[in-house]
Amino acid sequence: MRPRFKYLIFGTIILFTLNKAEAQSRPLQMNIGYEINIPAGSFRDYITNPAYKGFTAGLAYPVTDQLSLGLRVGYNDYYQKYSRQVYDQGKGSAVSAVVSNSIQQIPIMIAADYTILKTGIVRPYISGGGGMNLISFDQYLGEFDNPQSKVKPALFADAGVYIPLSKFSSTAIKVGGGYQYAPYLKETNLDNWGIHAGIRFDLR
């Protein structure tokens, strides 16, 4: 076993041991929400329409009362259809066609979430993380399409508020927004802004 993995396993065991008793009173937390994503940067060369078919879900372990670590998964579906134009195919060839771009992204991220205020009706938070982005890109030129699938790295930063349902409730409404950095090709990224609303609750 490589030394690096030994240290990682050893550190994980220590962290688990130190938090074992405390973790019994801190169940895993689930986040589920609806998300709208807006293309940014060079992404807008392909699609400018927002993606209204989106969701986000996450499972988090509360390390402390304010800090949690976990896994976050999302989905967004972009589509745009352009009016008929003449496109140069190279070597003196051109075609008149309707172009449609269809892009789906599934980001799978390791996430850290920090709640700034532990008490109050409104509790601001910040979060961030990174992982991989599963991308499906299909461009239709008339009846012909050119589907491509890639797995690329991705990063995100997010901020918003938790609104507990009651003073003593761990269930809270979550509202926020953020930015996702999503490389795709050498000169093209699929970066996007997102706004989301959902609910956080404990898994007991």
Give the residues of the chain that fall short of pLDDT 70: 1-25, 85-97, 142
Which of 162, 188, 166, 164 is CA-nearest to residue 176?
162
Give me the pLDDT at residue 10, please. 55
Give me the pLDDT at residue 199, please. 96
- Helix-then-strand count for the chain, H and E: 1, 12
Q: List, for residues 159-189, the tens digit of each pLDDT value.
A: 999 999 987 788 999 999 999 999 998 888 9
Q: Which residues pair with 105 in a beta bridge?
A: 76, 135
**Which domains are present in the chain?**
27-203 (2.40.160.20)
Distance between CA atoms of residues 164 and 172, nearest Å: 4
pTM above 0.85, yes or no: no
Full DSSP string of 67-127? EEEEEEEEEEEEEEEPPPEEEEEETTEEEEE-EEEEEEEEEEEEEEEEES-SSSSSEEEEE
Distance between CA atoms of residues 204 and 88, nearest Å: 60
Q: Which residues lie closer than 8 Å to 201 by C-beta, 6 or more apart?
A: 29, 30, 170, 171, 172
Q: Which amino acid is it at 171?
A: T
Give me the pLDDT at residue 179, please. 97
Helix (H, G, I), strand (E, B) or coil at 35: strand
Give me the pLDDT at residue 130, please. 96
Give me the pLDDT at residue 24, please. 54
